[in-house]
Structure 1
C-alpha cells in the first residue's frame, strides 16, 4: 500500500505545482483553495508512505513523479517546450524512479 500512497502523493504534488500557476500569487480564491488542498493531500499521502519506506527513497520518488507530471502538464496546458533534451532528462528521472522501486525492499 505504501507504493500506492507514494504514487498518489506524487500526482497531488504535480497538481499543486500546476495549481500555483493558476493562483496568480494566491490572489484567486478557487485556484488557491484547490492548490492548498492538493498540497495537504500530497503531504498526507507522502507521510503515509513514509511509515514503511525509507525517507530518501520516498522523497526522491515523490519529487520525481511531481517533476514528470508537472513537466508533462506544463507542456499540455501552457505550451511549454518538450524538446528532445527535456524528454531525455525526463526519461532519466523516470529510470531513476523505476530503479529505486526495483532495488527497494
Structure 2
C-alpha cells in the first residue's frame, strides 16, 4: 500500500508543480471581492493558487503515509523519480513539448531504478 501512496504523492506533486507554473502572484495581489466575479478574472487567477494549496497538502499527506512503511531514502528517491517522469509525460502529452530519444533513454533509466528499488524492498519483507 505504501507504494500506491508514493504514486499518489507523485501525482499530487506533479499537479502542484503545474499549479505553481500557472500561478501569477502579481495578479493574485490584485484580486478583490468586487472584481472576483468578473468573467475571465477571478477564477482563473484563484484556481492555480487553490490547486497549489490542495495539491501541496495532498502531496505531504500521502508521502508521510508512505514513509511509515518504506524507508525514507527509498520513498524519497522513488517519489522524486516518479514525479520527474510524470512531469515529463504531462509536458509531452498535454503541453505538446518535444521529447528527444536521449530524454526517453534517461527517463527509462529512472524507471528502471524505481522498479529496482521496488523489487529490492519487496524481497526484504
**Structure 2: runs of 5 or more not aligned:** 29-44
- Matched with 1:101 is 118
Whole-Å Cα distance in 2 between the matches of residues 46 and 17 of structure 1? Answer: 16
Matches within 5 A, 1:13-32: 13-25=13-25, 27=28, 28-32=45-49
Whole-Å Cα distance in 2 between the matches of residues 56 and 95 of structure 1? Answer: 17
- Deviation at residue 25 of structure 1 after TM alignment: 4.3
Give the root-mean-square deviation of aligned CA atoms: 1.4
The structure number with the bigger radius of gyration is 2
> Larger deviation: 94-103 or 4-13?
4-13
Q: Which 4+ stretches in 1 moved above 6 angstroms? A: none
**Structure 1: runs of 5 or more not aligned:** none
1:42 aligns with 2:59: yes
- Deviation at residue 7 of structure 1 after TM alignment: 1.2
